[in-house]
Amino acid sequence: MRPVAVIGIGKTAFGAFADRDLRSLAVEANQRAFEDAHISPNLIEAFYLGNFAGPSFVGQNHLAPYIAAASGLAGIPATRFEAACASSGAAFFHAVSGVASGLYDIVLATGVEKMTSQTTPKVAEILAGAGDLSGEVKAGATFPALFAMIARRHMYQYGTTREQMAAVAVKNHSNGAKNPAAHMRKVITLEQALKGKPVSDPLTVYDCSLVSDGASAVILAPLERATEFTAKPVRVLGIAQTSDYVALDEKDDITTFRSLREAAAKAYRMAGVQASDIEFAEVHDCFTIAEILALEDLGFVAKGEGGPFTLAGHTCIKGKLPVNASGGLKSKGHPVGATGVGQIYDVVQQIRGEAGERQLERHRLGLAQNLGGSGATSVVSILEAA
């Protein structure tokens, strides 16, 4: 396996765009990545698309060649990956594998979702399809309800508080307010977060990620060729994708995601680093409790310490371990199919020193964590300045 580098990145703003369709969003992100890598589309040898529910959200199937052709990529292998909210994390994993194996040299991985064309109840119904339809969904559970159960159990076992979960939202909104491409650039207080409209107890509207439209793209090449395209290549030092049961009731302990722990262990081993070496992270805060679990399952803190660690300010931009300097899914937005590659975009931007107001002091070694469903899919990627 040969070393792989990111040579180009592109992303649309995340938000609600009534005048944009799914294909135009993906094409824009791709074009931005081509420009960033200083290449023309004819150099791309394979296209990997992450998209969770295009057929349900907008009615379009056969999405990979549909988007590839519109991006000037007709004729190459074009494949769509579906892994719930980890769809483009999975696309990125397989794109890295394709380059690392020597099968391809220049590969494009893109994530896209157009969610706001549907009503909120319909969006909830579509997203619920990433759960167990024969069990938990049939019983009426949506993902806010499932993560509310996770939160309640974590509170019971470890003493996690609503204030600690609200601190995740306050911090991510503060970061997102500095991100010109974020969906919700709105600073909130701890009191506001605690008094938000109830969604599924103990979660309020401020504990839940946004329904968003958007797209993101990255271009990969062998590390040995990276400087042909960019003066700031970013190496994919370690990466892993794992899976687990879809249904929450089939897990031994719902306060931890086994797939995430295993993906992290594999990625650390591949990268030759430990959790303590990571300087910053973009984690999957689909709900505030998910960021707390990620801190613990990634090994940044011991089990039960994710909440106190956050409330103490250690995950802020100036903290010991900055987490979600982009604003995270909570503020940046969560167009589910675009999220995984979007996280890679944000990590690469930090490593290059191009994050503007959100630029971190320590930004050589970063981690991205993408979650599908209630932990049925996990992708962990570790990147460093080449």
Render pLDDT for 147-194 as a digit per residue (tens, 0 to 9).
999 999 999 999 999 999 999 999 999 999 999 999 999 999 999 999
State how far the alpha carbon of 261 is from the alpha carbons of 90, 244, 342, 362, in Å.
17, 11, 22, 25
Torsion angles phi and psi, residue 135, rounded to 5: -125, -85
Q: Is residue 57 part of a domain?
A: yes
Specify whether 180 is located in the same domain as 320: yes
DSSP string, 254-265: TTS-HHHHHHHH
Q: Is residue 127 part of a domain?
A: no
At residue 111, the pLDDT reads 98
Q: Is residue 124 part of a domain?
A: no
In whole angstroms, give the CA distance from residue 351 to residue 357. Answer: 14
Q: Which tokens is 111 given?
A: 């994530």
At residue 295, the pLDDT reads 98
Instruction: Find, among 83, 166, 122, the residue nearest to 339 by Cα.
Output: 83
Q: Which tokens is 240 given?
A: 């892993």
At residue 245, the pLDDT reads 97
Average pLDDT over residues 12-22: 97
Specify whether 88 is located in the same domain as 187: no
In whole angstroms, give the CA distance from residue 94 to residue 48. Answer: 8
Specify whether 140 is located in the same domain as 72: no
Specify whether 225 is located in the same domain as 363: no
Q: Please tell me the chain's helix, strand, coil percentages from 3-state DSSP, rounded to the nearest 5.
A: 40, 20, 40
Specify whether 298 is located in the same domain as 342: yes
Residue at a domain's end among 234, 269, 301: 234
At residue 334, the pLDDT reads 98
Residue positions annotated with a catalytic role: 85, 334
In whole angstroms, give the CA distance from residue 213 to residue 117. Answer: 9
pLDDT, tens only, 275-314: 999 999 999 999 999 999 999 999 999 999 999 999 999 9
The radius of gyration of the chain's CA atoms, rounded to the nearest angstrom, is: 19
pLDDT, tens only, 332-352: 999 999 999 999 999 999 999
At residue 290, the pLDDT reads 98
3-class SS of residue 147: helix
Q: Are 41 and 17 in contact (CB under 8 A)?
A: no
Identify the sign of the CA torsion 347, 349, 354, 357: negative
3-class SS of residue 200: strand
Torsion angles phi and psi, residue 353, rounded to 5: 80, 35
Q: Is residue 368 part of a domain?
A: yes
In whole angstroms, give the CA distance from residue 137 to residue 143. Answer: 9
Cα 284–chain centre separation: 5
Enumerate the H helices of 4-142 as residue ranges.
22-37, 54-57, 63-70, 87-100, 120-128
Overall number of domains in the chain: 2
Q: Is residue 130 part of a domain?
A: no
Q: Which tokens is 69 given?
A: 């052709």
Mean pLDDT score of the chain = 97
Specify whether 157 is located in the same domain as 260: yes
Instruction: Find, among 132, 198, 171, 195, the residue nearest to 332 by Cα.
Output: 171
Specify whether 96 is located in the same domain as 225: yes
At residue 168, the pLDDT reads 98
At residue 196, the pLDDT reads 96
Specify whether 164 is located in the same domain as 261: yes
Specify whether 228 is located in the same domain as 298: no
Specify whether 374 is located in the same domain as 243: yes
Instruction: Find, among 384, 345, 358, the residue nearest to 112 by Cα.
Output: 345
Q: Which residues contact 250 (CB under 8 A, 6 or more apart)?
A: 132
At residue 167, the pLDDT reads 98
At residue 11, the pLDDT reads 98
Q: What CATH number is attached to the domain comprising 110?
A: 3.40.47.10
DSSP structural state of residue 323? B
Specify whether 290 is located in the same domain as 192: yes
State how far the alpha carbon of 186 is from the alpha carbons of 49, 114, 148, 325, in Å.
31, 22, 24, 14
At residue 261, the pLDDT reads 98
Domain region containing 217: 4-119+212-234
Please give the share of the chain, as a percent, with pLDDT higher than 70. 100
At residue 17, the pLDDT reads 98
pLDDT, tens only, 41-93: 999 999 999 999 999 999 999 999 999 999 999 999 999 999 999 999 999 99
Specify whether 141 is located in the same domain as 100: no
